[in-house]
Amino acid sequence: MRVCSIASGSSGNCIYAGTDHTHLLIDAGCSKKKIVEGLGGLGLALDDISAILLTHEHSDHVAGLRTLMKHCDVPLYATSGTLAALTRDDAGQQTRYTIAAGESFAIGDLTAQPFAISHDAAEPVCYRITADDGAVFAMATDLGCYDENTIAHLTGADVLLLEANHDIRMLQTGPYPYPLKQRILGDKGHLSNDASGALLSRVLHDGLKAVMLGHLSERNNLQELAYETVRLEVEMGDTPYHASDFRLMVADRHLPSAALSF
């Protein structure tokens, strides 16, 4: 399997996950140009995409969907709540498949397991993707808190993409209005760097190869701060693991990440 973050942040999100035979996009919240460029770096084109999986309907996850759908005839997979929340302009008239948290579905040689997350959207999910050869990628962003179900779907993955949205102090002292600060800090908001590190510490295992931190806030976080906070959470946590046991990296808001093959 191969994974790449094409863009990750409040300005737009799009993740590629695929094999030699099946190519998925998770969300399309950035421009078609950026997605095409990201795929090009992987040696792929829009026509190679097998399906688009949506996490939820917020604009930073679907803003590029309409334009993208005009140029590639691929099916769209999303929960009934997400599909109902999308406008016709968001997704056009492409083939749509309704999925549900806890119910796996196959696309080519990949199996997707959507799982429910806590976020202020209609019916949001994140995904665990398993290849026929056993490789596993799991992602969890846009969640204000996590539970045992979240942990179960992240456990055992080869590669993880985890939200590290904000530094709590930067958010509290920053320019956002108070209601927005409370929304972000709430159980249906976003994970802080500290919470991301705590979550990661719950799912560490011998086979973990890489962790990508994503969905960083432009105003309330820094790449170096997210990296160091999560690294310290792992180092100081009550586990036998160290941050040097796997590759820890931060997904850029605007640029594709390095491709992770496993």
41, two tokens: 């770096």
Q: What is the mean pLDDT of residues 108-125?
A: 98
pLDDT of residue 88: 57
Structure tokens at 17: 């996950």
The pLDDT tens digits for 172-185 are: 999 999 999 999 99
Cα dist. 210→139, 164, 195, 249, 258 in Å? 12, 15, 18, 8, 11
CATH code for the domain defined by 2-256: 3.60.15.10
- pLDDT tens digits for range 179-225: 999 999 999 999 999 999 999 999 999 999 999 999 999 999 999 99
Q: Say what the pLDDT of residue 70 is.
A: 85
Mean pLDDT of 15-19: 98
At 12, phi and psi to the nearest 5?
A: 155, 140
Considering the entire predicted model, what is its pTM? 0.96
Q: What integer is the mean pLDDT of 37-45?
A: 98
Give the residue-averaged pLDDT of 73-89. 88
Q: In the chain, what percentage of residues exceed pLDDT 90?
A: 92
Q: Please tell me the predicted confidence (pLDDT) of residue 72.
A: 85
Per-position DSSP letters for 141-209, written without gaps between them: -S-S---HHHHHHHTT-SEEEEE--B-HHHHHHSSS-HHHHHHHHSTTS--BHHHHHHHHHHH--TT--
Region label for 90, one of left (φ > 0), alpha (ψ between -120 and 50) or beta (otherwise)? alpha
pLDDT in tens, 83-92: 999 865 565 5
- Residues 196 and 231 sit within 8 Å (Cβ to Cβ): no
Average pLDDT, the chain: 96
Q: What percent of the chain has pLDDT over 70?
A: 97
- What is the mean predicted confidence (pLDDT) over 114-136? 98
CA 124 to chain CA mean position, Å:
12
pLDDT at position 71 is 83
